[in-house]
Amino acid sequence: MHGKTKIAPSILSADFSILRDEIKALDSSNCEYIHIDVMDGHFVPNLSIGPDVVKSLRKYTKKIFDVHLMIDPVTKFLTPFIEAGSDIITLHHEISEDVFKCIEYIKVNKKKVGISIKPSTPVEVISKYLEHVDLVLIMTVEPGFGGQELLKDQIEKVKQTKMLIGDRKIDIEVDGGINTQNAKTLIDAGANILVSGSTIFKSKNYQKTINELRNL
């Protein structure tokens, strides 16, 4: 766990008809990350974007691209997403492929790597990954769609994650239903990266909302 709370606006909730402008608006804000949800309609019940979109957006910002792969299989897509300009690639414990091989491939290519679990997955499964990852992503909604309400029972899972991590330098990221009312609860539970989509992109002032999420 490190320092101040980092904010990762999720472009799943952005206006895709003006996605370049949305990225530029985030670039001028003080958010640290830009969270990019990749969905295949199979692992989760929705489709989103592929590596070509990530590549096309890369030239408009130097912000950290935090790419969350909600796809299965994963292996054949790792190289395209690495080459597209991803900085962090997070994959799911629940995929059918060898997760450790995927983690190793990402690290060999000098990218940071995260592991994520769905709400129904017991938190204990992350233990075996802790010597190998930079980040643990706790889904606080069922993955697939933006705009959902936070599942309050996942707050306890964040606390348990913090205990499992101990003094390791691993970020705890939370994603799903995060707004200005519950952000502090998640930070207090141990999260240091907050992913937020609808709350930021439905606001009139992205920077103001980012500051509020950070509890400045």
* Active centre residues (catalytic): 37, 175
CA distance 93 to 114: 10
What are the distances in angstroms from CA 38 to CA 50, 187, 211? 7, 25, 26
Parallel, antiparallel, or unpaired for β 112-117 and 88-92?
parallel
Looking at the DSSP bridge assignments, the partners of residue 115 are: 91, 136
DSSP-derived letter for residue 84 is H
170 membership: H or E segment, kind and range: none
Beta bridge pairs of residue 64: 33
- State phi, psi for 172 to the nearest 5 degrees: -115, 115
H or E stretch at 7: strand 6-9
